[in-house]
Amino acid sequence: MPGSDDLHGLTVSFTAMEDGTKADYELLDRFERQHAAGTADRVLAALDRLTGSMGGYRISRLEHSLQTATRARLDGADVDWVVAALVHDIGDELAPYNHAAIAAETLRPYVRAEVTWTIEQHGLFQNWYYAHHLGGDRNGRDRFADHPWYGVCADFCARWDQPSFDPEFPIHALDSFADEVHAVFGRPAWDAAVLAAGPAALVP
Ligand SMILES: [Fe+2]
Ligand SMILES: [Fe+2]
């Protein structure tokens, strides 16, 4: 059980990686597994820090994230989609110009392929709602017009992401998503059975 491994005070022998021994790297592997076991809690903590309203919006980024996930849950979406909706903007704090990539890479080892792809592309697809107002190309998503997951990403934005800036919407609390976050990030990483693509739909 990785999380219960007592590693307190242990360190490797080396100061440069090239000098590390098999025992050193086996020790580090135990540390990595223990660290990975805490991913769900760190994701929840990172979401809890998305409290600053990005100037001008009527709700905070955390409230937007909760609203997006609440809509997914109320639509009957499965746990992959609900957690993806919850974390889809988790990269906003550190990567404001490519935030979708942060969320996609956070999810990629743990959810179905079409879910990761949707989160990866959601920034581009969201452009459809506003880019033309700023002299940009709202049709950038058209480059994926023939992609099998074009429709599901467009639906993610239309149904869950773009409407979720409403201060009157009754959001579910972050705590209410904790079990789902633990279920997803507690999965073995890169499990082919988990990553296999499902139906190209938000709700089958
Ligand atoms: Fe976003
Ligand atoms: Fe969003």
Answer whether residue 134 is part of any domain.
yes
Instruction: Give the range of the structural domain holding residue 59, as residue numbers without chain letter.
Output: 39-195
Residue 190 in any domain: the answer is: yes
pTM: 0.95
What digits encode the pLDDT tens for the residues 73-132? 999 999 999 999 999 999 999 998 999 999 999 999 999 999 999 999 999 999 999 999
Instruction: For residue 162, report the distance from its CA to the centre of ligand 2, in Å.
Output: 7
Does residue 201 come out as left (phi exceeding 0), alpha (psi in the -120 to 50 range) or beta? beta
Question: Residue 55 belongs to a domain with what CATH number?
Answer: 1.10.3210.10
What total of structural domains would you count in the chain?
A: 1
**CA 65–ligand 2 middle distance (angstroms):** 7
User: Is residue 118 in some structural domain?
Assistant: yes
Positive or negative, the CA dihedral 175, 179, 180, 186 is: positive
Q: How far is the CA of 35 from the centre of ligand 2 (A)?
A: 28
From CA 139, how far away is CA 116, in angstroms rounded? 21
Helix (DSSP H) and strand (DSSP E) numbers for the chain: 9, 0
Q: Is residue 70 part of a domain?
A: yes
Apex CA 194: angle with CA 144 and CA 93, to 5°? 60
Tell me, yes or no, whether 201 lies in a domain: no
